[in-house]
Structure 1
Amino acid sequence: MGKSQLAAYLARQLRDQERTTSAGLDVLVWARATGPDQIITAYAEAAGQLHLSGADQEGEDGAARLFVRWLAATRRRWLVVLDDLTDPAPLEEWWPDSGTGNGWVMATTRREDAQFSGQGRTLLRLGLYTREEAGAYLRRRLTDAGHAHLHDAGRADELANELGDLPLALGHAAAYLINTRRTMSDYLTLLRDQSSRLGDLFPSSADTEGYGRPVTASLLLSLDSVHEADATHLARPLLQLAALMDPHGHPDTAWTTSAALSYLRTARPPRRRRLRRHHPAVTEGEVRSALECLRTYALITQDTATAPIRLHALTARAVRETIPSGTLSAAVCTAADAIMSLWPRHDHEERELAAALRASTVHLDDLTRPALWQTETHPCIYQASSSLTDAGLYQQAIEYDESTVRRSNDIHGPDHPDTLRARSNLAVSYSDAGRVQEALDLRERVLADRERILGDDHPDTLSARSNLANSYSDAGRVQEALDLDERVLAERERILGDDHP
Structure 2
Amino acid sequence: MGPYSSVVVQQAVAPQGVDWPLEVGAVPALASAFQPRAGLRERIDAVREEGATAVLTQVLSGGGGVGKSQLAASYASQAVAEGVDLVVWAPAAELQQVVTRFAEAGVRVEAPGVTGADPEADARAFLAWLATTSRRWLVVLDDIADPGAVEGWWPVSRTGSGWVLATTRLHDARLTGGGRRRVSVDVYEPDEAAAYLRARLAEDDGLVDGAVDELAGALGYLPLALGHAAAYMINHGVGCAAYLRLFRGSRSIAEVLPPSADAEGYGRQIATTLLLSLGAAEEADPAGLARAVLSLAAFLDPAGHPAALWAMESVLSSLGGCDAATVRTTLRVLHRYALLTCDGDAVRIHALTARAVREVTPDEVVPLLALTAADGLYEIWPEPDQPHRALAAVLRANTDVLTRTAGDHLWDPDGHEVLFRAGTSLIHAGLAESATAHWSGLASRAERLLGPEHPTTLGCRTNLSACHAVEGRVGEAMALTESVLVDRERVLGPGHPDTLAARANVAVAIAGAGHLGEAVLMTEQVLADGERAGLEDRDTLPTRLHLAELYREVGRVGEAVVLAERILADSERVLGADHPDLPHARSVVADCYMDAGRCLEAVALRERSLADAERLLGPDHVEVLSHRTFLAAFYWAVGRTGEALSLMDRTIADSERLLGPEHPGTLASREFFAVMRHPWRFLWRRILRRRPLPAADWRPIGDHRPGGRPPVRGRPGSSR
Q: Identify the residue that residue 343 of structure 1 maps to in structure 2.
A: 381
What amino acid is aligned across from residue 264 of structure 1 in structure 2?
A: L
Find the aligned partners of 2:520 and 2:266 in 1 and give their Cα distance.
63
Q: Identify the residue that residue 118 of structure 1 maps to in structure 2.
A: 177
1:94-136: per-residue Cα shift (whole Å, max 9, x none)? 1122122211111111112223221212211101112222111
Q: Identify the residue that residue 101 of structure 1 maps to in structure 2.
A: 160
Deviation of the 1:148 alpha carbon: 5.3
Residue 213 in 1 paired to residue 268 in 2? yes
Task: Call closer, same or farther: CA 1:309–1:497 in 2, change over 3 Å.
Answer: closer
Deviation of the 1:255 alpha carbon: 1.5
Q: Identify the residue that residue 336 of structure 2 maps to in structure 1.
A: 296
Deviation of the 1:348 alpha carbon: 2.2
What amino acid is aligned across from residue 73 of structure 2 in structure 1?
A: A
Task: Call closer, same or farther: CA 1:205–1:49 in 2, change over 3 Å.
Answer: closer
Q: Identify the residue that residue 416 of structure 2 maps to in structure 1.
A: 378
Residue 193 in 1 paired to residue 249 in 2? yes
Deviation of the 1:90 alpha carbon: 4.5
Q: Identify the residue that residue 239 of structure 2 maps to in structure 1.
A: 183
Find the aligned partners of 1:125 and 1:223 in 2 and give their Cα distance.
31
What amino acid is aligned across from residue 49 of structure 1 in structure 2?
A: R
Residue 32 in 1 paired to residue 100 in 2? no
What amino acid is aligned across from residue 167 of structure 1 in structure 2?
A: P
8 Å Cα contact 1:139/1:148 also seen in 2: no
Residue 285 in 1 paired to residue 325 in 2? yes
Residue 147 in 1 paired to residue 187 in 2? no
Task: Call closer, same or farther: CA 1:149–1:497 in 2, change over 3 Å.
Answer: closer
Q: Identify the residue that residue 438 of structure 2 maps to in structure 1.
A: 400
8 Å Cα contact 1:219/1:315 also seen in 2: yes
Q: Which moved more, 1:467-476 or 1:437-446?
A: 467-476
1:141-176: per-residue Cα shift (whole Å, max 9, x none)? 112xx1253112x41222122222211111100111
8 Å Cα contact 1:343/1:354 also seen in 2: yes
2:194 to 129, 132, 135: 135
1:320 to 345, 353, 358: 358
1:206-233: per-residue Cα shift (whole Å, max 9, x none)? 4222111110100011111111211121
In structure 1, runs of 5+ residues without a counterpart are 19-24, 266-280
8 Å Cα contact 2:496/2:533 also seen in 1: no
Find the aligned partners of 2:75 and 2:260 in 1 and give their Cα distance.
37
Aligned length, in residue pairs:
474
Deviation of the 1:489 alpha carbon: 2.7
Scaled by the length of structure 2, the TM-score of the pair is 0.64
Q: Identify the residue that residue 438 of structure 1 maps to in structure 2.
A: 476
Deviation of the 1:54 alpha carbon: 5.2
Rg: which structure is higher? 2
Q: Identify the residue that residue 148 of structure 2 maps to in structure 1.
A: 89
Deviation of the 1:477 alpha carbon: 4.1
8 Å Cα contact 2:299/2:358 also seen in 1: yes
Residue 164 in 1 paired to residue 191 in 2? no
Task: Call closer, same or farther: CA 1:125–1:499 in 2, change over 3 Å.
Answer: closer
Residue 5 in 1 paired to residue 60 in 2? no
Higher relative contact order (CA 8 A, sep 6+): 2
The SS at the match of 1:31 is strand
8 Å Cα contact 1:447/1:464 also seen in 2: yes
The SS at the match of 1:93 is coil
Deviation of the 1:326 alpha carbon: 2.9
Find the aligned partners of 1:403 and 1:411 in 2 and give their Cα distance.
12
1:242 to 297, 302, 307: 297
1:26-59: per-residue Cα shift (whole Å, max 9, x none)? 1111001112111010011112223445534541
The SS at the match of 2:347 is coil
Find the aligned partners of 1:57 and 1:13 in 2 and give their Cα distance.
30
8 Å Cα contact 1:437/1:475 also seen in 2: no
What amino acid is aligned across from residue 416 of structure 1 in structure 2?
A: H
Q: Identify the residue that residue 270 of structure 1 maps to in structure 2.
A: none
Find the aligned partners of 1:94 and 1:293 in 2 and give their Cα distance.
39
8 Å Cα contact 2:332/2:342 also seen in 1: no
Find the aligned partners of 1:399 and 1:352 in 2 and give their Cα distance.
21
What amino acid is aligned across from residue 236 of structure 1 in structure 2?
A: R
What amino acid is aligned across from residue 462 of structure 1 in structure 2?
A: L
What amino acid is aligned across from residue 330 of structure 1 in structure 2?
A: L
Task: Call closer, same or farther: CA 1:240–1:492 in 2, change over 3 Å.
Answer: same
8 Å Cα contact 2:138/2:163 also seen in 1: yes
Task: Call closer, same or farther: CA 1:205–1:54 in 2, change over 3 Å.
Answer: closer
8 Å Cα contact 1:204/1:210 also seen in 2: no
The SS at the match of 1:348 is coil
1:350-409: per-residue Cα shift (whole Å, max 9, x none)? 112112211221211212221100112111111121111112111122222222111111
What amino acid is aligned across from residue 43 of structure 1 in structure 2?
A: F
The SS at the match of 1:309 is strand
8 Å Cα contact 2:257/2:360 also seen in 1: no
Task: Call closer, same or farther: CA 1:205–1:88 in 2, change over 3 Å.
Answer: closer
RMSD (Å) for aligned C-alpha atoms: 1.8
What amino acid is aligned across from residue 145 of structure 2 in structure 1?
A: T
The SS at the match of 2:322 is coil
Q: Identify the residue that residue 229 of structure 1 maps to in structure 2.
A: 284
Find the aligned partners of 1:373 and 1:205 in 2 and give their Cα distance.
25
Find the aligned partners of 1:472 and 1:349 in 2 and give their Cα distance.
32
Deviation of the 1:498 alpha carbon: 9.2
Find the aligned partners of 1:222 and 1:498 in 2 and give their Cα distance.
55
What amino acid is aligned across from residue 380 of structure 1 in structure 2?
A: V
What amino acid is aligned across from residue 194 of structure 2 in structure 1?
A: G
What amino acid is aligned across from residue 285 of structure 1 in structure 2?
A: A
Residue 263 in 1 paired to residue 318 in 2? yes
Find the aligned partners of 1:165 and 1:451 in 2 and give their Cα distance.
63
Task: Call closer, same or farther: CA 1:92–1:336 in 2, change over 3 Å.
Answer: closer
